[in-house]
Amino acid sequence: MGAGGIVLLVVFLYLPVVVPFCALVGRRTSHRMGWLMSVPLVLLPLALLIGFMTV
């Protein structure tokens, strides 16, 4: 298992925890706040993963 496999494992363990958390925040505050939290918490690690995989 290379570095890409380890990063994929972390992402697949991280996303199932973060996505419901952002949905919970969106339900308790507003949909805009839920989206505001989800963009950096979900999309930034995915962007970093794609960046590390292409280097």
Contact of 22 with 42, CB cutoff 8 Å: yes
Three-state SS string over the chain comes to CCHHHHHHHHHHHHHHHHHHHHHHHHHHCCHHHHHHHHHHHHHHHHHHHHHHHHC
Residue 32: domain span: 3-54
pLDDT computed for residue 1 by the predictor: 63
User: Which residue's entry shows tokens 């505001």?
Assistant: 36
Residues contacting residue 36 through CB under 8 Å, at least 6 positions apart = none
pLDDT, tens only, 20-48: 898 899 899 998 998 888 888 888 887 88
**Tokens linked to 41:** 């918490």
Full-model pTM: 0.65
Q: For the chain, what is the domain count?
A: 1
